[in-house]
Amino acid sequence: MIEIRDEQEGEHQEIRQVIVAAFGGDIEANLVELLRDRNKAPIALVAVSDNTIVGHIMFSPVTITLAPKAYRAVGLAPLSVLPELQRQSIGSMLAREGLKKCAEAGFKIVVVLGSHHYYPRFGFSRASLYGLDNEYDADEHFMAIELKHGALDKVSGTVRYSPEFKECGC
């Protein structure tokens, strides 16, 4: 039985281990810690099985050049599941619950830079179709989802992640 819930103080080291195991390196774990330390992670969830953390997801604010200043958008990154427990829907549970929490928190859209085979199942589609580009020159791998219908109707431009991404080498 998998429980999806907010990450808590006291489990940051365990989360780090999950992220390092999933990615095979520490760049993404460093990013998560920096974003958290700087209060730039409004939504961060863990997947828990038998009192053990087996997955993690984080969302952090992004800016969009041609959006109103108060426009609230976040990027999904990173998403991690322990290698031995992948392909058992844990990543999907984290993504779906995360998107729900983003909507409840009032964010209008979520962007993601990742596999275009994986993320469309949650409702993401190619961001360039909405007139959104990115700093990484990604096309089909850069995707967006509207959390409110029409949220991207009058918004376009370059999406920028928090500076911590570059700081960590992402």
Ligand X SMILES: CC(C)(COP(=O)(O)OP(=O)(O)OC[C@H]1O[C@@H](n2cnc3c(N)ncnc32)[C@H](O)[C@@H]1OP(=O)(O)O)[C@@H](O)C(=O)NCCC(=O)NCCS
Residues that bind ligand X (CB under 6 A): 22-23, 77-81, 86-92, 114-115, 117-118
Please give the residue whose beta carbon sits closest to ligand X in the complex: 91
Residue with smaller CB distance to ligand X, 71 or 118: 118
Residue 106, classified by CB atoms within 10 Å of its CB into exposed (0-12), middle (13-18) or buried (19+), is exposed
Question: Least distance from C-beta 91 to ligand X, angstroms?
Answer: 2
**C-beta of 63 vs 86, nearer to ligand X:** 86
Length of the chain (residues):
170
For tokens 């969830």, name the residue. Answer: 45
How many whole angstroms separate alpha carbon 135 and alpha carbon 64? 11
User: H or E stretch including 149?
Assistant: none
Distance CA 116, CA 20 (A): 23
Angstrom distance (rounded) from CA 170 to CA 166:
5
Rounded to a whole number of angstroms, the minimum distance from the CB of residue 66 to ligand X is 26
12-23 vs 27-37: helix crossing angle, rounded to 10: 150
In the complex, minimum distance from the CB of residue 78 to ligand X, in angstroms, rounded to a whole number: 4
Distance between CA 2 and CA 141 in Å, rounded? 28
Closest distance between ligand X and the C-beta of residue 68, in Å? 28
* 80/155 with CB nearer ligand X: 80
Q: Which is nearer to ligand X, 35 or 67 (CB)?
A: 35
Element (H, E) at 144: strand 142-146
Between 4 and 79, CB nearer to ligand X: 79
